[in-house]
């Protein structure tokens, strides 16, 4: 179902604030995790001001360690809904288990399935049945063929509103958190009609490198970006090293617009 041979026309997903696919590019930005109403509203207002069309923020965080901050849960979803009410930005937020899909889908515009759950087939199917758009991250050790097979689990439920995200893969290189596979963009776009995005934040792992990876992804033809930014990144409860400051985010957006004047 993902194949260009089945559907040769690009899939375009639209919200009031913008669209992705078929030549339209959308920027989703916000904190890694929702930590408070104030933090989320502050980020939502400035990402909108600098030109983002969607707000990201995790209420359920899939942490490597069970002792790390796991997110605010339903309270975090309420905060995201308030940020949407105040800014008009649609919300993308992660869902980590099939049982939580209904809850998250009552708040989210886009259900995010993370790299660690990219082959959680029950979760993919539940997200496919939710009626919401789905944003699927590539697993950190997944081939692109495996990635598209995961996408099929969503599509096979009758849900064609699906965004694929390259967020970096495991290689022998240790200087970055993951290695951004920029090739994923042209390769996936030669196989599928679905929008393909880049997440430069989780690939870089370090805020100073995020803008370069974002621009590389867009230059390669990505249909969107999902980028982490936090009003006080050094105080963040997750992914502190990679979240852009507001001024770095504004600078990235200026460079993005220089590359894509239509945005």
In whole angstroms, how close is the CB of 179 to ligand PEP at the nearest point?
13
Angle subtended at Cα 260 by Cα 258 and Cα 261, rounded to the nearest 5 degrees: 70
**Which does residue 224 bind out of Mn ion, ligand PEP, none, counting CB within 5 to 8 angstroms by kind?**
none
In whole angstroms, how close is the CB of 205 to ligand PEP at the nearest point?
10
Sign, CA torsion 148/151/157/158: negative
Q: How far apart are CA 206 and CA 235, in angstroms?
A: 15
User: How many residues belong to the chain?
Assistant: 263
Q: Smaller CB distance to Mn ion: residue 24 or 199?
A: 199
Q: Smaller CB distance to ligand PEP: residue 58 or 233?
A: 58
Q: Smaller CB distance to Mn ion: residue 195 or 200?
A: 200
Helix, strand, coil in percent for the chain, rounding step 5: 40, 20, 40
**Which does residue 50 bind out of Mn ion, ligand PEP, none, counting CB within 5 to 8 angstroms by kind?**
none
Task: Single out the residue of 2, 25, 32, 236 in contact with Mn ion (rule: CB under 5 A).
Answer: 32
13-15/18-20 β-pairing: antiparallel
Does 244 interact with Mn ion (rule: CB under 5 A)? no
Q: How far apart are CA 218 and CA 255, in angstroms?
A: 11
Q: Smaller CB distance to ligand PEP: residue 116 or 129?
A: 116
* Nearest residue (beta carbon) to ligand PEP: 114
In whole angstroms, how close is the CB of 138 to Mn ion at the nearest point?
15
Size of the site for Mn ion (CB under 5 A): 2
* Nearest residue (beta carbon) to Mn ion: 32
Q: Smaller CB distance to ligand PEP: residue 32 or 144?
A: 32
Beta strand ranges found along the chain (DSSP E): 13-15, 18-20, 26-30, 54-56, 91-94, 110-113, 133-137, 162-166, 196-198, 224-228
CB neighbour list of residue 75: distance below 8 Å, 6 or more residues apart: 59
Q: Smaller CB distance to ligand PEP: residue 34 or 194?
A: 34
**Which does residue 142 bind out of Mn ion, ligand PEP, none, counting CB within 5 to 8 angstroms by kind?**
none
- Residue 145: exposure state from Cβ atoms within 10 A (0-12, 13-18, ≥19): exposed
List residues near ligand PEP by CB under 6 A. Answer: 32, 58, 62, 114-116, 137, 167, 199, 202
Q: Smaller CB distance to ligand PEP: residue 235 or 257?
A: 235
In whole angstroms, how close is the CB of 115 to Mn ion at the nearest point?
10
Does 239 interact with Mn ion (rule: CB under 5 A)? yes
Contact 129, 106 (CB under 8 A): no
What's the maximum distance between 2 C-alpha atoms anywhere in the chain? Answer: 48
In whole angstroms, how close is the CB of 87 to ligand PEP at the nearest point?
20
Q: How far apart are CA 100 and CA 111, in angstroms?
A: 11
Does 25 interact with Mn ion (rule: CB under 5 A)? no
Point out which residues bind Mn ion (CB under 5 A): 32, 239
């Amino acid at each position: 179902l993902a194949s260009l041979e089945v559907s040769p026309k690009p899939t375009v997903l639209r919200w009031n604030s913008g669209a992705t696919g078929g030549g339209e590019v959308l920027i989703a930005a916000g904190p890694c995790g929702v930590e408070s109403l104030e933090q989320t509203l502050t980020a939502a207002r400035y990402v909108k001001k600098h030109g983002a069309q969607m707000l990201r923020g995790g209420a359920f965080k899939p942490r490597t360690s069970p002792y790390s901050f796991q997110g605010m849960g339903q309270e975090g979803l309420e905060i995201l809904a308030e940020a949407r009410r105040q800014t008009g930005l649609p919300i993308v937020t992660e869902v980590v288990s099939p049982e939580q899909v209904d809850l998250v889908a009552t708040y989210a515009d886009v259900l995010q399935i993370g790299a660690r759950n990219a082959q959680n087939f029950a979760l993919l199917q539940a997200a496919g049945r939710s009626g919401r758009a789905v944003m699927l991250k590539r697993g950190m050790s997944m081939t692109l063929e495996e990635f598209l097979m995961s996408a099929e689990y969503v599509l096979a439920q009758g849900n064609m509103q699906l965004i694929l995200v390259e967020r970096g893969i495991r290689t022998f290189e240790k200087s970055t958190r993951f290695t951004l596979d920029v090739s994923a963009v042209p390769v996936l776009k030669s196989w599928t009609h679905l929008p393909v995005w880049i997440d430069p934040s989780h690939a870089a792992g370090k805020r100073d490198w995020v803008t370069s990876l974002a621009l590389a992804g867009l230059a390669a033809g990505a249909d969107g970006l999902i980028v982490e930014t936090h009003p006080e990144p050094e105080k963040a409860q997750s992914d502190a090293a990679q979240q852009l400051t507001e001024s770095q985010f504004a600078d990235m957006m200026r460079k993005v617009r220089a590359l894509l004047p239509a945005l």
